């Protein structure tokens, strides 16, 4: 399975320190290796705020998933993908309608499986 990992930190200081991004990346890489998936790319947004519309790398990632460049989106923690239940529901609906999967490691959300 080809996957794209997505990471986000809320402030420029977190981005500059790399600490939040490094932890997210390590979690994603560990899960991908464990499952023997192909990590197509790792993407990150820094100082993005709450709105999903202001995240250029997330937008690019969602377009690539829609266009079949990967089969799943993998995030370490739900709040790195979405701070809003409505936004997360929209991502899940988009994934379902476009035929790609979502994996949220910290919550055990995994739509690559029937138990997802």
pTM over 0.95: no
Task: Write the pLDDT tens digit of every residue in 20-75.
Answer: 899 999 999 999 999 999 999 999 998 655 555 678 899 999 999 999 999 999 99
40 φψ region: left (φ > 0), alpha (ψ -120 to 50), beta (else): alpha
pLDDT at 77: 94
Say how many C-beta atoms besides its own lie within 10 A of residue 113's C-beta: 8
Phi, psi of 12 (to 5 degrees): -60, -35
Which has the closest alpha carbon to 105: 7, 2, 22? 7
Taking the C-alpha atoms of residue 81 and residue 58, their distance in angstroms, rounded to an integer, is 8
């Amino acid at each position: 399975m080809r996957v794209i990992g997505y990471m986000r930190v809320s402030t420029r200081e977190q981005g500059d320190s790399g600490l939040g991004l490094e932890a997210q990346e390590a979690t994603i890489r560990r899960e991908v290796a464990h499952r023997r998936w192909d990590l197509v790319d790792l993407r990150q947004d820094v100082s993005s705020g709450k709105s999903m519309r202001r995240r250029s790398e997330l937008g690019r990632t969602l377009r690539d998933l829609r266009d079949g460049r990967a089969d799943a989106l993998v995030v370490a923690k739900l709040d790195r993908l979405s701070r809003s239940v409505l936004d997360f529901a929209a991502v899940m609906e988009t994934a379902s309608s476009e035929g790609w999967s979502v994996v949220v490691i910290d919550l055990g959300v995994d739509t690559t499986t029937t138990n997802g």
